[in-house]
Chains A and B, each alone.
Chain A
């Protein structure tokens, strides 16, 4: 009979902070015994405990402050961001997984349709799940941090404020950066860095198969050289994270945000171009392949194919440069526009 009371009280106090447990336990037990007659039977005890209601609810009332991982103020945009990121990251990883699965199977000499589809689907799904899980984890961490730091910043500000400190309302709210944009970028950076690191450390083979599987290159890049990619990739990830952190902090195209985005893009661009053009990047087998191709057949590529695939890398470099320059240009354009409207 007493065991029910003990179990009930234990269930309540185990959900409370350590320092409150003894006191609440003693108070609650005393109150429960008062609610019982002098010689209660088991049914009476159970009835009183049922009257007190669920232990979790009671514990919540004792805790005084509701506790949130992500406060209601942020919950909406958290869900919105997840709805945007999860299908995107999951989808990209699924496609990447399908391709990797296919390449993996085609390495074998006899390719059977069933094993090919099976491999594609299983690799695709497992990669999609891994990527979606990573995205979920990092989005949540991002929001939790944003929530916690915002709380501190705001509680400091609410103490004293002057009418004059109120920000001016921009004519159009176009300079605003949605919170979801910063967090989405942050998550994408982390997820793709994660996979890039897996590839570079040799955990996932980067395979390529050409000419209907006649020619197989098991390593497009020089495996020894891939290890040198890791520090620059981490560096670029850090820059990307700083840029998205700025977007999250200011939520507006201010010169600081713009500067950070532009600097981060330009540095990443230089690193990427340097890596792509370094002499040891391609594996010997892919250099051999590029040299063996009869470029006459691919007349549009003839110009590019003169030095063992190096020109293809040059083409990729140009695309990468365009991507980063567009990103920087967009940041500058939006900042200028926001400034003109203010």
Chain B
């Protein structure tokens, strides 16, 4: 991320944690890497391929995802889905995110209402 721009680096920092939540949310349904990238971009979540692929690998190594290679097609693809632990983590994170959003809203209310909810 070549962001010397301080605003950009704040945005990146702010986004970092919520990206995990967005990925976990998408993976309630099974996705392979590139399809997940497209799903997220459809939802206007800015994520780059070189961030998403390593993130998938990390979440898998942390035991939140199950993965399965589908070799029946001409291109082998690795499909990821939330497992039980992943589901729990996703719900916890979502609760936390909603709480935090409410808190921040209540602090920043006087600055107008820019709540971008999907």
**What is the bound-complex CA distance between A24 and B61, given in angstroms?**
12
A57 lies within 8 A of chain B by Cβ: yes
From B51, B55, B57, B76, A24 is in contact (CB under 8 Å) with B57
B113 an interface residue at 8 Å Cβ cutoff?
no
Which residue of B50, B57, B58 contacts A52 across the interface (Cβ within 8 Å)? Answer: B50
Whether, in the assembled complex, B53 has its beta carbon less than 8 Å from a beta carbon of chain A, the answer is yes
Chain A hits for B54, CB < 8 A: 58, 61-62, 64
Inter-chain contact B75/A33, CB cutoff 8 Å: yes
* Complex contacts, A234 vs chain B, CB 8 Å: none
Q: How many A residues touch B, CB cutoff 8 Å?
A: 18
B115 to chain A, nearest CB (A): 30
B49 touches A51 (CB 8 A): yes
**Contact pattern, A 241-252, Cβ under 8 Å of B = 1, otherwise 0:** 000000000000
- The smallest beta-carbon distance between A33 and chain B, in angstroms, is 5
At the interface, is chain B mostly helix, strand, loop or mixed?
A: helix
Q: Which of A27-43 contact B (CB under 8 A)?
A: 27-28, 30-31, 33-35
A158 shortest CB reach to chain B, Å: 21
In the complex, B78 has a CB within 8 A of chain A: yes
Number of interchain pairs (Cβ within 8 Å)? 48
Per the bound structure, the CA–CA distance linking A35 and B52 in Å amounts to 13
| CA distance in complex: A57, B51 (Å) | 10
- Please name all residues of chain A whose beta carbon is closer than 8 Å to the beta carbon of B28 when the two chains form the complex: none
For chain A residues 1-24, which have a beta carbon within 8 Å of chain B?
23-24
A66 at interface by CB-CB < 8 Å: no
A31 vs B77: C-alpha distance in the bound complex, in angstroms?
Answer: 8
Which residue on A lies nearest to B51, using beta carbons?
A61
Point out the residues of chain A lying under 8 angstroms from B33, CB to CB. Answer: 27, 30-31, 34
Q: Which residue of B lies closest to A33 (CB)?
A: B75
Say if the beta carbon of A231 comes within 8 Å of chain B: no
Nearest A residue to B77 by beta-carbon distance?
A30
A58 touches B50 (CB 8 A): yes
Give the distance in Å from the alpha carbon of A26 to the alpha carbon of B71 in the complex.
Answer: 12
Interface 1/0 per residue, B31-50 and A, CB below 8 Å: 01111000000000000111
Residues of A within 8 A of B58 (CB): 64
Residues in A with CB closer than 8 Å to B77 are 30, 34
Q: Contact partner of A28 among B53, B55, B61, B75, CB < 8 A?
A: B53
Verify if A53 is at the interface (C-beta below 8 Å from B).
Answer: yes
**A–B complex contacts, Cβ < 8 Å, 18 sampled:** A24-B57, A26-B78, A27-B56, A30-B32, A30-B33, A30-B75, A30-B76, A30-B77, A30-B78, A31-B33, A31-B49, A34-B34, A34-B77, A35-B34, A61-B51, A61-B54, A61-B55, A62-B53
Interface residues of B (CB under 8 A from A): 32-35, 48-51, 53-58, 61, 75-78
